[in-house]
Structure 1
């Protein structure tokens, strides 16, 4: 919603009307163009509907392509059918595949890029021999970088892991060139040339230091009287006003805010020094603040605790809202006449989360940690038994490139945090299905 408001030049939670790089500018451009098409025909809602149709069709095509790739790679027929059924029936897939949110644009690009990395690993880099294939993976890498703020880092990790299993200097150099090209565009060309020309504001640095900010707020809350006045001044100069009382264990937004001011920029270096120094003195406070934020990735939800702060919602499950956001009317979108229906979807989804036989599958920890851990464990066992080659183990690359960014996020239990885990939900069937590929020839095994 903030991106649509920026497209219209209206005041929003991030800027006074200018575009901001806090959310990917490429996504803002896509949402704005569809919104503008609707405005031209007299109804912004038509533009939103057109976008929803387009992104849904794109997602369907990409998911079908992924299942076909699994079959072509030798996955069992049963595994391919299960993956296909999962994409068709698991409720979170269609919800996020058709949403007007940056993650919906990112997911098709990420899946296609992941397939190219898997194919490079499967063929030991042979598929990168042609310029056409290299250009394709480079374009997909750039799209992944443009559609999510952490996308460039995902690309870097995935390409480095792929370089470890491909054969030949040429394939490795081409993967390195893919990373370098994306990095030049994302770190040099966009912020150094395009953003100043288009008067696009840089995203606030509070997003990168969200966890230290949260830890500092808890430190002020629990040990403020023990800190020196100088340390308190440093913390209070970069945190949101009254941060100690605003501390909210499941979310960092009340602490970090949405704006990066000149005062905060000036306080950054002193803050980092003060934060590090106090981390040595109060390690348990820092650890508690961190794991309170990230607990949703490892633990089943604590029902009583969440009910008391979220009014009955089950945020640490794979929950999302189907109903229209409260500020949708600010952008000119009409209030739906089917609000009760959408509210019913929300309640129905919450009910599904609560059923004991479905709770593990709707728990974020299952997709974020439990299933990836099981996949890695199985891969290690098969590698040690020499029933799997490193090229087959490389089929876990998309998951390994995604997991680290869960653990630096500022939310794991709120409904907003669902966006961070949804790529894990989409790629989970890929790794599971490819474990059914028959063992390769002995010449491809480890040690041969």
Structure 2
């Protein structure tokens, strides 16, 4: 044994490459669908080797409590994500069984995860990497507001071809409901947020008044959203520049946003998600400026007012905003617990304003209320899976489920990844559900006690895309059409009609993006890094993204959908450099 230890001590490089080769082979062998191509395996071995050697040179740092605990937490979550995720296949109702070999896989990915996240921590503290991304303060370049305008104009120019391709814009099916509501064809319904519907309706009305053409209204909407989105993303890049991020890194962010066609599509599509996500990004920037860099500046009347406005607008734009606001409020109440007299009225008052507008005002003025079925997607799916998989139910459970939807119909409409097929089924009795909300939760609990395993399976399958780094699908990635309607709204397709080139057809096949779960992990890693560095206040700007993800994990209607987590899509440049915006770790005893 002593000889073995001595051999490895004298040959650290050889030992590292040995473990790297073993690890890369195990990785490719263990991943379904990965062929054992020697070129890829060798490449993975090089990455493993670099990570092992880098971690080994800083092994004393790993002994510090927060660092090994943070690495272990992320490693455990990473390992569980890989192993559990391997049991799920998109569009497959079956959740594969666990085997004894999965224990070995869990231990392997735990080691890999700990190594990976310890290396990421070291990189965030490495002066060479820090200097490459964010130079020292003495060398920080001054940033003028003109750069904000330049960035925004570049983005607009990059997105114009997409706008022309789909002129006058893109109106998905759910957006057509907002249009129908604004035109009086449907009753008001806050499932399609009233505030957003008013914006859509007003722009279509203006277009109709100007040229008696509703298509002009859609074009006005597209232009307005494109300008707002370009302005917001341009401001994010300008703000990062002010924080000292090198221009070379910023230009990568600019190229990321300007890359067609996805961002051009989201710049014009008639969805509330781009507006909502931009408000969250602006809120993150505000919180960084006034709760992190200058904690006491948050207490100024002007800044408290700005905070309240951002919170109210965010909540009015999408219904899950109120839950994000509550999360941020609770965190800020802890941070400013010694200044409660100054912050409490604004923090709680802004939430009250949202409740008052979306409650009494919407109900009195528009007769609009939130739809109950929209908030119970996950519980409804769990109950449906129990029926489909032949789970245990008593007579009362069966009767209630049969009232909602005839029992024989669950097999036809159930999909583990999407609740819409059930809740919008012609046979689904929504009025009955609205009249029996207490019975719904009672039945849900009753079935949970008898079918815990099926409930867990459905939860994991129903949220799959928001925690797994590679299991996404293109569902709800983009929309490209104007939904069929009776108002004369249509796409004129200028490239086809004028140039005869099938631009729209070609562009439709070019959309792609990284998995949503990978974005979630980028947020999670940043949060844990803040904790590892003893910089808990730096978590505050990330709470909007965290809260948005948590609402999806509690009540998402679908297992996939980049649009629902679009704040992380446009926030990716911030997430990628955030570890270097966090100062170095505070040592014990340091204030």
- Coarse TM-score class (shorter-chain normalised): 0.7 to 0.9
Q: Structure 1 residue 371: deviation in Å?
A: 1.8
- Aligned to 1:245, which of 384, 389, 412? 412
* Corresponding residue number in structure 2 for 1:9: 184
Change (3 A) 1:442 1:228: closer
Asked if the contact 1:74/1:438 (under 8 Å) is kept, the reply is no
- Aligned to 2:389, which of 217, 222, 227? 222
Superposition pairs of residues 83-94 of structure 1, within 5 angstroms = 83-89=253-259, 91-94=261-264
Asked if the contact 1:144/1:151 (under 8 Å) is kept, the reply is yes
Change (3 A) 1:250 1:437: closer
Superposition pairs of residues 228-239 of structure 1, within 5 angstroms = 228-239=394-405
* Corresponding residue number in structure 2 for 1:319: 477
Report the more deviating stretch, 32-41 or 395-404.
395-404
Q: Deviations over 1:130-155 (max 9, x none)?
A: 21111111111100010011111112
Does structure 1 residue 404 correspond to structure 2 residue 558?
A: no
Find the aligned partners of 1:181 and 1:331 in 2 and give their Cα distance: 41
Does structure 1 residue 382 correspond to structure 2 residue 539?
A: no
Q: Deviations over 1:312-360 (max 9, x none)?
A: xx426x8312x21432x334302434585333222112xxx4xxxxxxx
- Aligned to 2:503, which of 321, 331, 341? 341
- TM-score by length of structure 1 reads 0.81
Superposition pairs of residues 87-236 of structure 1, within 5 angstroms = 87-89=257-259, 91-165=261-335, 169-170=338-339, 172-192=340-360, 194-223=361-390, 226-236=392-402
- The number of equivalent residue pairs is 405
- TM-score by length of structure 2 reads 0.63
Find the aligned partners of 1:33 and 1:269 in 2 and give their Cα distance: 39
Asked if the contact 2:196/2:317 (under 8 Å) is kept, the reply is yes
Q: Structure 1 residue 446: deviation in Å?
A: 7.6
Unaligned ranges ≥5, structure 1: 11-16, 304-313, 354-360, 384-388
Asked if the contact 1:56/1:98 (under 8 Å) is kept, the reply is yes
Q: Structure 1 residue 393: deviation in Å?
A: 4.3
SS of match in other structure, 1:101: coil
SS of match in other structure, 2:504: helix
Find the aligned partners of 1:231 and 1:65 in 2 and give their Cα distance: 53
Give the structure with higher Rg (CA).
2
Asked if the contact 1:27/1:105 (under 8 Å) is kept, the reply is no
Q: Structure 1 residue 406: deviation in Å?
A: 2.4
Q: Structure 1 residue 251: deviation in Å?
A: 0.5
Q: Deviations over 1:10-66 (max 9, x none)?
A: 2xxxxxx11111111000000000111111121111111111111211121222222
- Aligned to 2:578, which of 424, 434, 441? 434
Change (3 A) 1:234 1:379: same
Change (3 A) 1:203 1:180: same
SS of match in other structure, 2:192: coil
Find the aligned partners of 2:324 and 2:543 in 1 and give their Cα distance: 10
* Corresponding residue number in structure 2 for 1:19: 188
* Corresponding residue number in structure 2 for 1:267: 436
Asked if the contact 2:465/2:559 (under 8 Å) is kept, the reply is yes
Report the more deviating stretch, 199-208 or 246-255.
199-208
Report the more deviating stretch, 195-204 or 141-150.
195-204
Q: Structure 1 residue 9: deviation in Å?
A: 1.6
SS of match in other structure, 2:483: coil
Question: Once superposed, what is the RMSD of the aligned Cα atoms?
Answer: 2.9
Asked if the contact 2:329/2:348 (under 8 Å) is kept, the reply is no
Unaligned ranges ≥5, structure 2: 1-175, 497-501
Asked if the contact 2:195/2:316 (under 8 Å) is kept, the reply is yes
Change (3 A) 1:431 1:397: farther
Find the aligned partners of 2:522 and 2:261 in 1 and give their Cα distance: 18
Find the aligned partners of 2:322 and 2:431 in 1 and give their Cα distance: 27
* Corresponding residue number in structure 2 for 1:298: 467
